[in-house]
């Protein structure tokens, strides 16, 4: 597939993250205006809420769909509506296509907002949030650190996508600062735990899949793939010292409760279609209900940069989404095996994505090997875990022939812990 040309000139540059091929969905506000639904094109945002008000976009003939600043109502309409909107937006934005916007100077000036003028908001109401642990290199690295190389992968790991329910209320949009949490910790050299600010605050480089169609009961991998609306970048901020003390026997809880940051644009499954690729070779055949049904992952380049306060950013990791062992569809299918209903707006984190080499590790836990091997940033500072003032940014792009499908940054700065979390 090649670049599709738009009359929005900035969308046609080879390094633009938002060409006509992409059309990712988000929620934005411009100055004092209320937040609205929009689609990114080049360096602009097309105001979908306005276009619906003006009758240029008609998704539902009876009721407005974009009158609330979330994409949930639209997702709820189902796959035919998803296809129709993408087709309509493509026609409206194609160079030489429908000139309802391009040929109407007044509408054009009102419907296109510069991304640099806009503030981005959460694109969806996150109904429930689940985080997986489905990157083999990450699970092997962490397992080796905690249990030794021989027991690195638990016996179940190659048979089911291990996951746990997270906290939807803690999901935030890129650009929101993250406060270093307090938590109960126990140092190996102390007998008793203490309540202290986290000392090992970390990132996890992940992708998030958004469920766009609800289900009630077990669904197949193909049905799960059909039910996914799109993808975002996801940083699952993790308090490693809280996790070490709390996670036995029922898994991580407060270690993962501070924040999970997502990128502001939902890149649709449709936009990623040309980048599908196979999951890795498997040691054990998966059980039939979890088997691949064609290429299930995507070739998406991912990287992480870290910028100490007031300083330049260093790229600390580069990897690719194709390093996952389980696809989001397989995770979603597994999620339904025991009968749990899944709802529009559910968010599934992929699990940390690490590649086989050191520079491909998607967490500081792995990059600093549990804090034992500090890494040196380009600015000369050493890092084991995150320090106050650090800004962490995830980047992602699927690279095509003369164009790319970008995700927009997934970024957040670490604020110092509160002096007293109970001061009122």
CA atoms of 236 and 351, how far apart (whole Å): 9
Closer by beta carbon to its own copies, 148 or else 339 = 339
DSSP state for residue 293 in the 8-state scheme: -
Taking alpha carbons only, the member of 77, 78, 69 closest to residue 25 is 69
Closer by beta carbon to its own copies, 251 or else 371 = 251
Strand locations in 321-374, DSSP E? 347-349
CA atoms of 61 and 77, how far apart (whole Å): 12
Residues in binding contact with its own copies, number by CB under 8 A? 65
- Output the CA angle 115-116-121, nearest 5 degrees: 60
Rounded least distance, CB 205 to its own copies, Å: 18
Kindly state whether residue 83 participates in binding its own copies, applying the rule CB under 8 A. Answer: no
Closer by beta carbon to its own copies, 179 or else 311 = 179
Rounded least distance, CB 193 to its own copies, Å: 5
The pattern of x and - marking residues 107 through 146 that bind its own copies according to CB under 8 A reads: --------------------xx----x---------x---
Rounded least distance, CB 328 to its own copies, Å: 16
Taking alpha carbons only, the member of 85, 74, 1 closest to residue 46 is 85
Kindly state whether residue 328 participates in binding its own copies, applying the rule CB under 8 A. Answer: no
Closer by beta carbon to its own copies, 322 or else 354 = 354
Rounded least distance, CB 271 to its own copies, Å: 28
Closer by beta carbon to its own copies, 72 or else 254 = 254
DSSP state for residue 215 in the 8-state scheme: B
Of 121, 137, 138, 334, the catalytic one is 138
Own/partner long-range contacts of 116-120 (Cβ < 8 Å, ≥24 apart): 116/43, 117/30, 117/31, 118/28, 118/29, 118/30, 118/38, 118/45, 119/28, 119/29, 119/30, 119/175, 120/26, 120/27, 120/28, 120/173, 120/174, 120/175, 120/264, 120/265, 120/408
Rounded least distance, CB 414 to its own copies, Å: 13
DSSP state for residue 49 in the 8-state scheme: H
> Phi/psi zone of residue 380: left (φ > 0), alpha (ψ -120 to 50 degrees), beta?
left
Site for its own copies in 333-362 (CB under 8 A): 334-335, 337-343
Number of residues in the chain: 424
Site for its own copies in 365-424 (CB under 8 A): 418, 421-422
Closer by beta carbon to its own copies, 2 or else 287 = 287
User: Quick check: is 395 catalytic?
Assistant: no
Kindly state whether residue 179 participates in binding its own copies, applying the rule CB under 8 A. Answer: yes
DSSP state for residue 341 in the 8-state scheme: -
Kindly state whether residue 181 participates in binding its own copies, applying the rule CB under 8 A. Answer: yes
Strands 129-132 and 382-383: unpaired
Kindly state whether residue 176 participates in binding its own copies, applying the rule CB under 8 A. Answer: no
Q: Which residues are registered as beta bridge partners of 232?
A: 208
Closer by beta carbon to its own copies, 246 or else 366 = 246
Kindly state whether residue 218 participates in binding its own copies, applying the rule CB under 8 A. Answer: yes
Site for its own copies in 280-299 (CB under 8 A): 284, 287-289
Kindly state whether residue 149 participates in binding its own copies, applying the rule CB under 8 A. Answer: no
- Output the CA angle 47-234-409, nearest 5 degrees: 55
CA atoms of 28 and 33, how far apart (whole Å): 9
| Among 186, 199, 276, 358, interactor with its own copies by CB under 8 A | 186
Where along the sequence are the contacts to its own copies (CB under 8 A)?
A: 127-128, 133, 143, 154-156, 159-160, 162-170, 179, 181-184, 186, 192-195, 198, 217-220, 239, 242, 245-255, 257-259, 284, 287-289, 334-335, 337-343, 418, 421-422
Residues acting as catalytic residues: 138
């Amino acid at each position: 597939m090649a670049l599709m040309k738009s009359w929005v000139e900035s969308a046609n540059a080879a390094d633009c993250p938002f060409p006509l091929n992409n059309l990712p969905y988000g929620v934005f506000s411009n100055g004092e205006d209320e937040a609205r639904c929009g689609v990114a094109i080049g360096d602009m945002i097309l105001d979908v809420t306005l276009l619906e008000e003006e009758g240029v976009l008609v998704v539902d003939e009876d009721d407005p769909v974009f009158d609330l600043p979330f994409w949930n109502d639209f997702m709820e309409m189902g796959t035919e509506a998803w296809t129709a909107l993408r087709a309509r937006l493509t026609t409206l934005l194609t160079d030489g296509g429908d000139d309802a916007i391009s040929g109407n100077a007044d509408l054009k000036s009102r419907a296109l907002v510069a991304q640099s003028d806009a503030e981005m908001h959460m694109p969806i109401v996150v109904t429930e949030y689940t985080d997986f642990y489905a990157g083999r290199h990450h699970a092997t690295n962490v397992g080796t650190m905690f249990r030794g190389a021989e027991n690195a992968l638990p016996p179940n790991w190659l048979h089911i996508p291990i996951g746990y329910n997270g906290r939807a209320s803690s999901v935030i949009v890129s650009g929101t600062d993250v406060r270093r949490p307090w938590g109960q910790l126990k140092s190996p050299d102390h007998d008793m735990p203490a309540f202290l600010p986290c000392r090992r605050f970390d990132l996890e480089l992940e992708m998030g899949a958004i469920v766009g169609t609800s289900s009630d009961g077990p669904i197949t991998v193909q049905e799960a793939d059909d039910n996914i609306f799109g993808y975002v970048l996801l940083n699952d901020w993790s308090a490693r010292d809280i996790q070490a003390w709390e996670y036995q026997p029922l898994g991580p809880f407060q270690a993962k409760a501070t924040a999970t940051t997502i990128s502001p644009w939902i890149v649709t499954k449709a936009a990623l279609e040309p980048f599908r690729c196979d999951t890795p070779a498997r040691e054990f055949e998966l059980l039939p209900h979890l088997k691949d049904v064609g290429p299930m992952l995507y070739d998406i380049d991912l990287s992480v940069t870290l910028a100490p306060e007031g300083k330049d950013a260093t790229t600390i990791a580069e990897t690719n989404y194709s390093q996952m062992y389980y696809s989001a569809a397989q995770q979603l299918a597994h999620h339904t095996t025991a009968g749990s209903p899944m709802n529009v707006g559910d968010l599934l984190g992929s699990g940390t994505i690490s590649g086989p080499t050191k520079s491909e590790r998607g967490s500081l836990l792995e990059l600093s090997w549990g804090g034992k091997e500090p890494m040196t940033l380009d600015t000369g500072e050493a890092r084991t875990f995150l320090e106050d003032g650090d800004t962490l940014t995830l980047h992602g792009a699927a690279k095509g022939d003369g164009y790319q499908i970008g995700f927009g940054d997934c970024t957040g700065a670490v604020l110092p812990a509160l002096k007293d979390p109970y001061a009122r």
